[in-house]
Structure 1
Amino acid sequence: MDNIGPILETLTHRLANIPPDFLDEPRMAKNNKGVAVAALVNDVMRMLGNATPLDNLERFDGMDAGKDRNRLALTMITTWLLADEWFIRAALPAAQFMSILEQTVAELAAATAAHKFTSDPDRREELARVVLARLNYRPEGESLAQATDRLSSISGMERRRLVEASRAAEQRARAIREALAKKAAEESADKWTRE
């Protein structure tokens, strides 16, 4: 979050006022009804000045409603967010946007119903903050410490990531302590053997 991004309230307001078309059902392979999410992603990527190869768009075609519906619904919401004037002016690389639409959306969708990111103020803030953070931006008017603290307090996904990182660090520290204790015991045994 080294760079200064847009005003957070602009993004949360945009999410709160999302057009109903972006909340429609995503199209699934067995059903030709609903929004063609791949086409929507392609349109937004073009708005952002990026070309998207066809094979990159296939992952936005829903195959199984049980597995894909929430992820694709959140993809539609996130494309609406990324179509904001600020992101268009920023001219960020296509790879960053695709990473948001593929990885970040999948992580968020695994934990929360998609439409909560438009109807719930905390989830709107979470989506806006997570997208900005993944693009290495923080909201305008916030220091790095403030943005990091608020992101970790509002985002369940970010809290889980921090807890996992903390557990991994503790496991590494435990392994180091055990290795040091073992080495000290071996050195002590060698000392007694020499005497």
Structure 2
Amino acid sequence: MTDRTAPNPLEQPLAHSDEGPWLRTLTDRLVATPQAFLRPEVVTEAVLRDALELVTDAPLEADALSAVRRLGGAALPERLAAQVAAHLVTEPSLRPVLGARAPVDTAAGIEHFTALVGVVPLRQWFGDDPDRHEEVVRALLRCMAIRPRGETHAQSEDRWQSVSTGLRSDALRLAALEQQRAAELAKALADKRAQEAAAQYTHV
């Protein structure tokens, strides 16, 4: 069973990944998401339950139903993200991979995936930027420990580093922090040298 308390896969390297469908297959499906999946009044729980039962071809057990209920009670942006995920996971070429897993693992992956709306607003998921389409799809696959067809695990990891808005923002913040620390250190050293020079001058 997936540990839902573990760090989000969007924020850390994956230990392994299974090969899934072609990336283009899922980006095309994302862009073509029916409006019915994006309506706030949609009952998220029902959409997710139907999607998971379709993927696994079996009724959901208690742990998967608990995850579905949590998602159904989430804030609206996370609910809409979960509904988009429900549309994506039912892609026929993805279903064989997910169908071999426990439904709770797929539900847990969707829970992790919904965190993406905190970094990439939902309105950007369907815009004209192909990098954002790729980011959304890679994020979902990553939360399922799946890589696009034709990519090695290492290639998939590298590409995620390139397109992840969150990781790039973190890198920029770290760089800015290091720059600030270097400037503070340089100022402290300059102040110390000035004090030492002043002390030598007064004792001449």
Q: In structure 2, what is the Cα distance between the partners aligned to 1:96 and 1:13?
A: 25
The 5 Å alignment of 1:83-162 reads: 83-90=90-97, 91=99, 92-105=101-114, 107-119=115-127, 120-159=129-168
**1:157, distance to aligned residue in structure 2 (A):** 2.9
Corresponding residue for residue 46 of structure 2: 39
**1:42, distance to aligned residue in structure 2 (A):** 0.5
1:71·1:114 contact (CA, 8 Å) conserved in 2? no
2:110·2:143 contact (CA, 8 Å) conserved in 1? no
Seen in structure 2, the aligned counterparts of structure 1 residues 45 and 163 have a Cα distance that, compared at 3 Å, is farther
**1:160, distance to aligned residue in structure 2 (A):** 5.8
**1:124, distance to aligned residue in structure 2 (A):** 1.7
Q: In structure 2, what is the Cα distance between the partners aligned to 1:141 and 1:37?
A: 33
**1:151, distance to aligned residue in structure 2 (A):** 0.6
Name stretches of at least 5 consecutive residues in structure 1 with no aligned partner: 26-33, 168-195
1:42·1:52 contact (CA, 8 Å) conserved in 2? no
Corresponding residue for residue 35 of structure 2: 20
**1:159, distance to aligned residue in structure 2 (A):** 4.1
SS at match of 1:48: helix
Is 1:4 the counterpart of 2:15 in the alignment?
no
**1:9, distance to aligned residue in structure 2 (A):** 0.2
Seen in structure 2, the aligned counterparts of structure 1 residues 99 and 157 have a Cα distance that, compared at 3 Å, is farther
Seen in structure 2, the aligned counterparts of structure 1 residues 135 and 56 have a Cα distance that, compared at 3 Å, is closer
**1:7, distance to aligned residue in structure 2 (A):** 0.5
2:67·2:104 contact (CA, 8 Å) conserved in 1? no
Corresponding residue for residue 182 of structure 1: none
The 5 Å alignment of 1:62-77 reads: 62=73, 68-77=75-84
Q: In structure 2, what is the Cα distance between the partners aligned to 1:125 and 1:75?
A: 17
Q: In structure 2, what is the Cα distance between the partners aligned to 1:101 and 1:146?
A: 23
How far does the alpha carbon of each residue in 1:8-62 deviate from its partner, in whole angstroms, 9 at most, with x for none?
Answer: 000000001111111212xxxxxxxx10001101000100115153433321334
- Percent of pairs with identical residues: 25
Seen in structure 2, the aligned counterparts of structure 1 residues 163 and 12 have a Cα distance that, compared at 3 Å, is same
How far does the alpha carbon of each residue in 1:153-186 deviate from its partner, in whole angstroms, 9 at most, with x for none?
Answer: 101234467889x99xxxxxxxxxxxxxxxxxxx
How far does the alpha carbon of each residue in 1:111-164 deviate from its partner, in whole angstroms, 9 at most, with x for none?
Answer: 122232233422221121122223222111223332111111101234467889
> Which of 151-160 and 93-102 deviates more?
151-160
Task: Provide the aligned C-alpha RMSD in A.
Answer: 2.6
2:71·2:78 contact (CA, 8 Å) conserved in 1? no
SS at match of 1:115: helix
TM-score, length of structure 1 as denominator length: 0.68
What letter is aligned with 1:4?
Answer: E
Name stretches of at least 5 consecutive residues in structure 2 with no aligned partner: 1-15, 176-204
SS at match of 2:93: helix
